[in-house]
């Protein structure tokens, strides 16, 4: 494989300490939020709409600034750690005028990677997500699931040590979502990263994560450890332990949603 | 991918055109209209053939003025749009003044340009520019400020420079909007040129000049219609060229071009 940006040495540590965020409207999203992600953690954030899940990811990505407190990735401020992180958005956010391959190349292109080596890296990333044959197709020629795979391949090209997922599979049908969940875990085995994953699906949260954090009214309302062993596959969803964890997470979410 | 005009795009207008021709000729016969009031389609075609040695060079000359004005409007309009879209403050400060300039009627601009540049092709080109400038500015500015927020954040997360954001995101994103503006400008540029020639009283061998000559003779009504026809053809040529360019640039990815296939 051609050299992309230097591979990250290890998954990142994320520190969120006494975090406060006030919107221009005067609404406090967080006041004194604390959360620590150890290197290699896969944390899913669940909670009612408007509880600040996406805002938390945006703060970590440096797309918004905290009003108070600290957000750090390997002890670096988000702006200084941007080459260590990648963001997978709710929408695939593909440039419609570029082919799948050239979309995957984009981060490398923005970092000044030569055309030939980035093309090789992009092809390799696309074959890792099972889209080797669709490299020269335009986004309009891809299904919703394929677009999201391209988005995933693009996020992985920079070898990030932290991946932020903002409900990336929310718009997909359940079959496609399950398959993408399995693919994501498989990809993580070959290129480990720390992940913060926002979702509204409790099943997805439990399947993917080793920790599920329930956010409500700007604070952590509950936290659930998921001791299911990796690698996980379709059979994991049939395990009694998985089903029990889902039930516990649903109960925690319901409790958090009570006024 | 071959450019193929769908039958649904050319058969209905052709049929409607044939019906209009029949109605036109029918009105002349039914109401007994004289040729100096409303010439028939046959009269117009005969005038077109008879005057071809004047009409063709005139069309070329008028077309050239329109082309220069149109080209300047496209380049200038795109540049002004880039400046307007560069910041909210710049747009707020300058856009109303661009609108004010657009509001000035051509009949007011013509004497001003004649004083500035003389009663020549420069004035005609300037009028053609003025009339086709605004659609390019409006379309391109809208495109540049409408860039998808998610894509902007993607570029921000990937530490794109401002120049990369403009070249790799904002400009391609604005392309369909820009082309829509250019298409409108293409319809206006020949109108601006012929209006300028007609009102500024410029050099001979232009469509505007021929119009002045023909309208002074009531017997030349078919020739006036022939000038109208040639002007329409000129407009179609401009729009057709832009349409082709638009198809070439958007055919692979933009819904408007994909659906037209």
Report the 10 Å Cβ neighbour count for A196: 26
Q: How confident is the model at residue B260 (pLDDT cuts 50, 70, 90)?
A: low
Chain B positions touching A96 (Cβ under 8 A) are: 253-254
Consecutive H or E run containing A87: strand A85-88
Q: How confident is the model at residue A9 (pLDDT cuts 50, 70, 90)?
A: low
Helices (H), chain A: 53-61, 100-110, 115-128, 144-156, 174-190, 202-208, 240-257
Q: Does the structure show a pLDDT above 90 at B120?
A: no
Q: How confident is the model at residue A2 (pLDDT cuts 50, 70, 90)?
A: very low
Asked if residue B42 has a cis previous peptide bond (ω within 30° of 0), the answer is: no
The phi, psi pair for A203, rounded to 5°, reads -60, -45
Whole-angstrom distance between the N-terminal and C-terminal Cα of chain A?
53
- The CA–CA distances, whole Å, from B240 to A78, B178, B183, B186, B237 equal 51, 16, 9, 9, 5
- Candidates B171, B172, B175, B253, partner chain A, best to mutate (most A CBs within 10 A): B253
Among candidates A105, A84, A85, which has minimal Cα distance to A94? A105
Q: How does pLDDT run across A203-228, given as a tens digit for each residue?
A: 999 999 999 999 998 889 999 999 99
Predicted pLDDT of residue B226: 95
**Identity of the residue in A63, A91, A95 whose CB atom sits nearest the CB atom of B157:** A63
Delineate the domains of chain B, giving CATH numbers in brackets.
Answer: 35-260 (1.10.3720.10)
- Cβ of B148 under 8 Å from any chain A Cβ? yes
Q: How does pLDDT run across B180-222, given as a tens digit for each residue?
A: 999 999 999 999 999 989 888 767 889 999 999 998 888 899 9
State the ipTM, two decimals: 0.89
B27-55 average pLDDT score:
93
Q: How does pLDDT run across B56-90, given as a tens digit for each residue?
A: 999 999 999 999 999 999 999 999 999 999 888 99
High-pLDDT (> 90) share of chain B, %: 70
Residue of A nearest to B147 (CA): A95
Pairing between β-strand A85-88 and β-strand A219-225 as defined by DSSP bridges: unpaired
Q: Does the structure show a pLDDT above 80 at A258?
A: no
CB contact under 8 A, B164 and A82: no
Q: How does pLDDT run across A164-203, given as a tens digit for each residue?
A: 999 999 989 999 999 999 999 999 998 899 999 999 999 9
CB contact under 8 A, A110 and B253: no
Q: What does pTM read for this prediction?
A: 0.85
Buried b (16+ CB within 10 A) or exposed e, B33-47: eeeeeebbbebbeeb
Q: How does pLDDT run across A48-72, given as a tens digit for each residue?
A: 988 899 999 999 999 999 999 999 9
CB contact under 8 A, B154 and A110: no
Chain A positions touching B162 (Cβ under 8 A) are: none
Residue of A nearest to B151 (CA): A93
Consecutive H or E run containing B129: helix B121-145
CB contact under 8 A, B156 and A63: yes
The tokens describing B69, both together, are: 């004005």
Predicted pLDDT of residue A150: 96
């Amino acid at each position: 494989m051609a050299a992309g940006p230097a591979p990250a040495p290890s998954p990142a540590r994320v520190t969120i300490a006494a975090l406060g965020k006030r919107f221009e409207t005067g609404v406090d999203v967080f006041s004194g939020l604390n959360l620590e992600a150890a290197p290699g953690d896969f944390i899913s954030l669940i909670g009612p709409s408007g509880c600040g899940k996406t805002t938390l990811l945006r703060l970590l990505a440096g797309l918004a600034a905290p009003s108070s407190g600290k957000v750090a990735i390997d002890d670096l401020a988000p702006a200084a750690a941007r080459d260590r992180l990648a963001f997978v958005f709710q929408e695939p956010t593909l440039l419609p005028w570029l082919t799948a391959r050239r979309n995957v190349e984009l981060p490398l292109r923005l970092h000044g990677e030569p055309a030939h080596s980035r093309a090789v890296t992009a092809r390799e990333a696309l074959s890792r997500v099972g889209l080797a044959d669709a490299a020269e197709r335009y986004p309009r020629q891809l299904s919703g699931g394929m677009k999201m795979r391209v988005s995933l391949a693009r996020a992985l090209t920079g070898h990030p040590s932290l991946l932020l997922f903002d409900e990336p599979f929310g718009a997909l049908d359940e079959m496609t979502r399950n398959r993408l969940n399995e693919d994501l875990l498989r990809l993580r085995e070959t290129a480990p990263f720390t992940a913060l994953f926002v979702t509204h699906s409790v099943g997805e949260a439990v399947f993917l994560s080793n920790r599920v954090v329930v956010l409500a009214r700007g604070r952590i309302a509950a936290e659930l450890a998921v001791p299911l062993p990796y690698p996980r596959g379709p059979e994991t969803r049939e395990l009694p332990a998985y089903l029990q964890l889902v039930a516990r997470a649903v109960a925690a979410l319901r409790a958090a949603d009570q006024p | 991918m071959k450019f193929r005009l769908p039958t649904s795009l050319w058969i209905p207008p052709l049929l409607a055109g044939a019906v209009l021709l029949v109605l036109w000729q029918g009105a002349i016969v039914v109401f007994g209209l004289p040729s100096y009031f409303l010439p028939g389609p046959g009269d117009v075609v005969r005038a077109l053939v008879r005057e071809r040695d004047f009409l063709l060079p005139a069309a070329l000359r008028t077309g050239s003025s329109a082309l220069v004005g149109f080209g300047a409007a496209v380049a200038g309009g795109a540049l002004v749009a880039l400046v307007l879209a560069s910041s909210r403050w710049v747009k707020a400060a300058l856009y109303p003044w661009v609108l004010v300039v657009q509001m000035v009627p051509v009949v007011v601009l013509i004497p001003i340009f004649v004083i500035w540049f003389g009663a020549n092709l420069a004035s005609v080109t300037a009028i053609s520019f003025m009339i086709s400038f605004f659609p390019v500015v409006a379309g391109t500015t809208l495109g540049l400020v409408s860039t998808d927020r998610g894509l902007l954040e993607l570029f921000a997360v990937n530490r794109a420079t401002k120049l990369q954001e403009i070249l790799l995101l904002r400009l391609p994103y604005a392309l369909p909007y820009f082309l829509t503006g250019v298409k409108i400008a293409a319809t206006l540029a020949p109108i601006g040129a012929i209006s300028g020639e007609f009102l500024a009283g410029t050099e001979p061998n232009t469509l505007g000049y021929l119009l002045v000559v023909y309208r002074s003779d009531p017997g030349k009504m078919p020739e006036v219609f022939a000038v109208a026809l040639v002007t329409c053809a000129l407009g179609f040529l401009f729009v057709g060229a832009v349409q082709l360019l638009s198809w070439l640039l958007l055919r692979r990815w933009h819904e408007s071009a994909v659906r037209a296939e």
